[in-house]
Amino acid sequence: MTTKKALRIGLIGCGFMGRTHSNGYLRVKNFFPELAYQPVLKAVCSRTESKARAFAEQWGYESVETDWKALIARDDIDAVDICTPNDKHAEIAIAAAAAGKMILCEKPLARTLRESADMVAAIEKAKVPNTVWYNYRRLPAVTLAKQIIDSGKLGRIFHYRANFLQDWTINANLPQGGEGLWRMDADVAGSGVLGDLLSHCIDTALWLNGSITTVSAVTETFVKERMHQLTGKVEKVNIDDACSFMCRFSNGSLGLFESTRYARGHKALYTFEINGEHASIRWDLHDLNRLEFFDNADASTLKGWRSIHVTDGDQPYMNKWWVPGLGIGYEHSFVHQVADFLKSLEDGSSCPPTFREAFETQKVCQAVQDSAATGTWKDTHAA
């Protein structure tokens, strides 16, 4: 038996994201066996004990907690993974940092820029390893896009556009808030599609194309009132059902972003495209193993968008999986983030995006929200 260092995980939250992260921890041993650190699933926390127990049984956590403060207080936990609804991120992260725990926090960092600032301050004071689960960066095709851009192949950048389109809330009878629906409750989520979907687009954009300086945004709530699951009453809907914005990047390029939960026919159409002087790139989450690439250096009569099936061993992360042509799925992005976090522990580097980096996304989100409220352009650093 090799002696691996254990990274003892305490997971807070048993929802959809609890599942994706747990799967991430469990797969690393099989697919990244060379890593010095390996996760040990020490405890999972949910306010409802039966729920915590069932989750622990299913995912192999050694113990359960019903109070997240108790989990943080445990000596046998190295890292706290925050998978709660957004309204708990700040409080838990700040407490965990104070307790000296490493932190892996689900995105968006928090509901507001204010909460986020407090979190960043706390974690930087505590000097603990940390990362935020903007998982899409680590899909192989997206990482390949980053490599192409970093290689300089695109030249000067002119345009960046991204959208994240869903259609699951068109039904006006869908209740808001409560179990499984907290994303529709502005008090809990902070915002609607802005924090849920656009924040992903912004994180990727900042990573691929640098900082955003100014934004002009618009939001809309198509269904104005919905029954709230917790109160049983029809209440005003306070989240943004749709949010779009135009922006300028500091590299001089123009950006265009859109997200909605009212685009009939799209389940999770997260696409981005970047147009440079010499080449362009585009990607679509629905076909996540493919990256499209146009290279103006190709022979004049033979230029065309290439559909790159990113499944070869020399493409990012793919030497860990199967053989060329055989695709992977959404969940693998989390496995890769776990692996990269573990690697960062080996060499003392950070595992991006850190809280500090996610704070930049938060600034753009705040500027978007302010712009939509006022109908004016907003500077992201005035936020």
> Residue 257 Cβ, how far from a second copy at the closest point, in Å?
9
Side-chain-side CA neighbours of 156 within 13 Å: the count stands at 5
Compute the distance between CA of residue 335 and CA of residue 32 in angstroms, rounded to an integer. 9
Q: Which member of 5, 331, 346, 349 binds a second copy (CB under 8 A)?
A: 331
Say if residues 128 and 100 touch (Cβ distance below 8 Å): yes
Stretch that binds a second copy, among 7-15, 187-195, 289-297, 359-367 (CB under 8 A): 289-297
Compute the distance between CA of residue 252 and CA of residue 367 in angstroms, rounded to an integer. 18
Q: What is the DSSP letter of 301?
A: G
Stretch that binds a second copy, among 118-126, 205-213, 228-236, 240-248 (CB under 8 A): 240-248
Q: Which member of 301, 319, 347, 348 binds a second copy (CB under 8 A)?
A: 301
Please report, as residue ranges, which positions from 182 to 211 form the binding site for a second copy (by CB under 8 A): none
- Exposed / middle / buried, residue 253 (Cβ in 10 Å: 0-12, 13-18, 19+): buried
Please report, as residue ranges, which positions from 106 to 145 form the binding site for a second copy (by CB under 8 A): 144
- Residue 280 sits in the site that holds a second copy (CB under 8 A): yes
- Residue 298 sits in the site that holds a second copy (CB under 8 A): yes
Please report, as residue ranges, which positions from 332 to 361 form the binding site for a second copy (by CB under 8 A): 332
Closer residue to a second copy in complex, CB, 143/362: 143
Tokens of 61: 């956590």
- Residue 327 sits in the site that holds a second copy (CB under 8 A): yes
- Residue 287 sits in the site that holds a second copy (CB under 8 A): yes
Say if residues 191 and 240 touch (Cβ distance below 8 Å): yes
Closer residue to a second copy in complex, CB, 77/308: 308
Q: What is the CA radius of gyration of the chain?
A: 21
Closer residue to a second copy in complex, CB, 160/341: 160
Closer residue to a second copy in complex, CB, 22/130: 22
Q: Which long-range contacts (CB under 8 A, 24 or more apart) does 18-22 make?
A: 18/44, 18/55, 18/83, 19/59, 20/135, 20/331, 20/334, 21/81, 21/83, 21/104, 21/106, 21/133, 21/334, 21/338, 22/55, 22/59, 22/61
Q: Which member of 36, 117, 121, 263 binds a second copy (CB under 8 A)?
A: 263
Q: What is the DSSP letter of 287?
A: G
Closer residue to a second copy in complex, CB, 268/383: 268
- Residue 288 sits in the site that holds a second copy (CB under 8 A): yes
Say if residues 202 and 132 touch (Cβ distance below 8 Å): no
Q: Which member of 293, 317, 355, 359 binds a second copy (CB under 8 A)?
A: 293
Number of C-beta neighbours around residue 75 at 10 A: 7
Judging by DSSP bridges, how do beta strands 63-65 and 269-276 pair with one another? unpaired
- Residue 148 sits in the site that holds a second copy (CB under 8 A): yes
> Residue 22 Cβ, how far from a second copy at the closest point, in Å?
7
Q: Which member of 48, 62, 304, 382 binds a second copy (CB under 8 A)?
A: 304
Please report, as residue ranges, which positions from 10 to 69 form the binding site for a second copy (by CB under 8 A): 16, 20, 22-23, 26, 29-30, 33, 57-60
- Residue 101 sits in the site that holds a second copy (CB under 8 A): no
Say if residues 159 and 228 touch (Cβ distance below 8 Å): no
Tell me the site size for a second copy, rule CB under 8 A.
Answer: 96
- Residue 180 sits in the site that holds a second copy (CB under 8 A): no
Q: Which member of 152, 232, 251, 305 binds a second copy (CB under 8 A)?
A: 305
